[in-house]
Amino acid sequence: MVFDIDMIKRVYATYPERINAARQVLNKPLTLTEKILYAHLWDGNGTVAFERGKSYVDFAPDRVAMQDATAQMALLQFMQAGKKRVAVPSTVHADHLIQARVGASKDLQDSLNQNNEVFNFLSSISNKYGIGFWKPGAGIIHQVVLENYAFPGGMMIGTDSHTVNAGGLGMVAIGVGGADAVDVMAGMAWELKFPKLIGIKLTGKLNGWTSAKDVILKVADILTVKGGTGCIVEYFGEGAESLSCTGKGTICNMGAEIGATTSTFGYDDSMRRYLIATGRQDVVDAADVIAEHLTGDAEVYENPKAYFDQIIEINLSELEPHINGPFTPDRGTPVSKMREEAEKNGWPMDVEWGLIGSCTNSSYEDLARAASVVKQAVANGITPKAEFGINPGSEQVRFTAERDGILADFEKMGTKVFTNACGPCIGQWDREGAEKQEKNTIVHSFNRNFSKRADGNPNTHAFVTSPEMVAALAIAGDLGFNPLTDTLTNAEGKSFKLTPPVGDELPMKGFAVEDNGYQAPAADGSAVNIIVAPDSQRLQLLENFPVWNGKNITDAKLLIKVKGKCTTDHISMAGPWLKYRGHLDNISNNLLIGAENAFNGKANEVKNQLTGSYGEVPAVQRAYKAVGIASIVVGDHNYGEGSSREHAAMEPRHLGVSAVIVKSFARIHETNLKKQGMLALTFANEADYDKIHENDLFDFIDLESFAPEKPLTMRIRHDNGTHDDIMLNHTYNQSQIEWFKAGSALNLIKLMEN
Ligand code: MIC
Ligand code: SF4
């Protein structure tokens, strides 16, 4: 069955005219990104040329995707918008709340028992509002979306930063906070600053041990975690066409790790093959009619420098497998340099776990290639040194891989097959011994490796690599192992060299599945009742955030000045806290507990200015809130990097923080703060970060005249009686200022409804 084929055909029907209009206003050959964006303007045909990196533009995305950990907050907000049904096709995927412990069947049952209340809420609220629900065990959101919903030239938003995965099927798919999803589901426009464009030309062809993952590991190394901010990355060239569709998905997926708004590829044969294999011949037939519009113009790809803001070229034939990490996904090391680099930095050489899975790398091809490595080890009598776990991306992938003997190959090596879900990737991993906090190394095929992410242990050095490299490194149990040159030795002392991985891009016998885990919504859900128990510890109905009183904020205290990397995992930790994602007050008890206090180098220990003693961040902030004192949070570069979770913005808002002032923001987090009625500001002069002292008081002296393009002034009053006035930049346009004034974007929707 093809989901929403009528919607897809309607989108394609508008394409020729929309592209034509875009050509007239831009008056130049078009990139694919421009085609998709101009084909999805809220106001229909383009009439002006938008300025990249400057113009705020209203778009009309074709669909919305949400996962269980973010959907709770998104749908609690949607409930308040007063709508009967979602305005565009939308889905919810239960994938984040399932723990990996002993193996799929037991783990899934345990998680159904533990999260029953939340799954029931998501299933019934989806039923009520016309949202498709993918049950626990159905698979990871982005794999399921790629298999069922993504279509070339489409535009989608999703409440997860890796929504960008669908770029592998030629979409512009963008990760957002729940409040943005509410706009689109409520039938309103979705706003984005028109992105800058990075073109990545791929030449040559992958070979040997190199895989699609290595392309993005290399790109992350080049661009760093913030190099893609405000940009859409478009891949092209013969190398791009030679990649499989799921390989393209892997590359787009991890584009989130360079801060890119999204990444995409032009429609090609690999996409046709994938669409057909996943039962969507109808989409191919429709796309083929307008195929010329579903890729960039030839002139653009022939002379990319003239059309992109930045160009990178990578020769796939020469690309070496990479291993990125530890603690950050942009620290890239080619496999041949790993031993030297690890020794130099004192990274533990023994690999203790190899994990294959996550939305980045859990396709049939990924499992097949990794299994081909595992098979060789088994055949040569090698027992892997490290433990091994896999999470297939979807039930369809799992079922097919089981039928084709791929899972059996893994099991012969003692691999634990966990549920089709995020699992260890989001800290849903009951790793034995992690509480001892020993220094150790793990390798995985995920996208993120921030401190504590997988197992909660700050001393776990996690490295990101391809599934086939995970297999090789876990078998060798040695981080410095280079399968291109090194040999393995079995128990009888016989040594042998692994041959490069092979695996079918798509299953020869086709995909198969018995129960894909999909639950269609009721045709008319108006009678469905949503019950949230008042004493629930997992779910809490939302109350309106207070409106701004129209006055300057004065005498604010410093809650925390954060030093260094501060991802959304530092602001609102996942793992054990995922269970409170539907309960704002409870989850607020994790506010910024992972961030380093610049004044004492410690996490979760800040000065309470009311008592002079030190306390935990959430407790100190609750103390300020109790007496009605305003406070601010100060941060470093790329603050809020990583996840789309809006909890990282709602928690400070709920606890009464007024402003977050940083050197620079990650895109989704900045928008989330704005949507929730917070002040998200950046130092006009970065060095002013150093002027913030622990006992300072802060006055926003011209907030009453808050206006677009006009910096704000903050007076920093030091405890020695002196003061500094500093300039703070912001990117609020007029309608975003209205969110601030109303207390949140949702408050404003409600005002408009009444
Ligand atoms: C992640 O990979 O960090 C997550 C968990 O999928 C998040 C979403 C969340 O926090 O629920 C993301 O990437 O947006
Ligand atoms: Fe799930 Fe990990 Fe993908 Fe996030 S990155 S959606 S936690 S698999």
Point out the catalytic residue in the list 4, 107, 160, 699. 160
Cis peptide before 326 (omega within 30 of 0): yes
68 in contact with ligand 1, CB cutoff 6 A: no
Cβ neighbours for 549, distance < 8 A, ≥ 6 positions apart:
none
Report the nearest-CA residue for atom 2 of ligand 2.
425
Of all atoms in ligand 2, which is nearest to the CA of residue 256? 5
Of all atoms in ligand 1, which is nearest to the CA of residue 668? 14
CA of 645 to the centre of ligand 1 (A): 6
pLDDT of res. 274 = 98
The DSSP call for residue 754 is -
Per-residue pLDDT tens over the stretch 349-378: 999 999 999 999 999 999 999 999 999 999
Ligand 2, CB cutoff 6 Å, lining residues: 96, 140-141, 160, 162, 358-359, 422, 425-426, 446-447
- 726 pLDDT higher than 90: yes
Of all atoms in ligand 1, which is nearest to the CA of residue 453? 3
The DSSP call for residue 139 is B
Mean per-residue pLDDT, 644-665: 98
- 753 pLDDT higher than 80: no
> Is the CA virtual torsion 511, 517, 521, 523 positive or negative?
positive
Which ligand has its closest atom nearest to the C-alpha of 447? 2
565 in contact with ligand 1, CB cutoff 6 A: no
Point out the catalytic residue in the list 111, 363, 643, 644. 643
pLDDT of res. 557 = 98
pLDDT of res. 752 = 82
Residue 643 known to be catalytic: yes
Residues facing 200 on adjacent strands? 235, 312
Which ligand has its closest atom nearest to the C-alpha of 574? 1
- Amino acid occupying residue 393: G
CA of 672 to the centre of ligand 2 (A): 19
- Amino acid occupying residue 469: M
Per-residue pLDDT tens over the stretch 127-137: 999 999 999 99
- 531 pLDDT higher than 90: no
Per-residue pLDDT tens over the stretch 180-228: 999 999 999 999 999 999 999 999 999 999 999 999 999 999 999 999 9
- Band (pLDDT 50/70/90 cuts) for residue 651 is very high
User: Whose structure tokens read 């622990």?
Assistant: 694
Mean per-residue pLDDT, 681-687: 98
Task: Indicate yes or no: pTM above 0.95.
Answer: yes
Residue 645 known to be catalytic: yes
- Band (pLDDT 50/70/90 cuts) for residue 63 is very high
Mean per-residue pLDDT, 612-623: 98
Which ligand has its closest atom nearest to the C-alpha of 68? 1
- d(CA 511, CA 540) in angstroms, rounded, equals 40
User: Pocket of ligand 2, candidates 358, 366, 450: which has the most ligand atoms within 8 Å of its Cβ, to mutate?
Assistant: 358
Question: Residue 89 to residues 62, 65, 521, 666: CA-CA distances in angstroms?
Answer: 7, 9, 11, 28
CA of 288 to the centre of ligand 2 (A): 32
CA of 305 to the centre of ligand 1 (A): 34
Residue 693 known to be catalytic: no
User: Whose structure tokens read 């919810």?
Assistant: 92
- 754 pLDDT higher than 80: no
Of all atoms in ligand 1, which is nearest to the CA of residue 644? 14
CA of 96 to the centre of ligand 1 (A): 8
Q: Is 589 exposed, middle or buried (0-12, 13-18, 19+ CB in 10 A)?
A: middle
pLDDT of res. 9 = 98
Residue 95 known to be catalytic: yes
Per-residue pLDDT tens over the stretch 248-272: 999 999 999 999 999 999 999 999 9
Report the nearest-CA residue for atom 4 of ligand 1.
643
647 in contact with ligand 1, CB cutoff 6 A: no
CB atoms within 10 A of CB 241: 17
pLDDT of res. 645 = 97
Q: Is 468 exposed, middle or buried (0-12, 13-18, 19+ CB in 10 A)?
A: buried
- 1 pLDDT higher than 90: no
Per-residue pLDDT tens over the stretch 274-315: 999 999 999 999 999 999 999 999 999 999 999 999 999 999
- With contact defined as beta carbons under 8 Å apart, do 460 and 205 qualify? no
Of all atoms in ligand 1, which is nearest to the CA of residue 422? 6
Mean per-residue pLDDT, 660-671: 98
CA of 427 to the centre of ligand 1 (A): 11
Average pLDDT, the chain: 97
Of all atoms in ligand 2, which is nearest to the CA of residue 447? 5
- d(CA 629, CA 612) in angstroms, rounded, equals 15
pLDDT of res. 285 = 98
- d(CA 15, CA 295) in angstroms, rounded, equals 12
Which ligand has its closest atom nearest to the C-alpha of 428? 2
- Band (pLDDT 50/70/90 cuts) for residue 751 is confident
pLDDT of res. 748 = 93
Q: What are the tokens at 315?
A: 């020769």
Mean per-residue pLDDT, 401-413: 96
- d(CA 65, CA 127) in angstroms, rounded, equals 15
Residue 6 known to be catalytic: no
CA of 587 to the centre of ligand 1 (A): 15
- d(CA 682, CA 634) in angstroms, rounded, equals 9
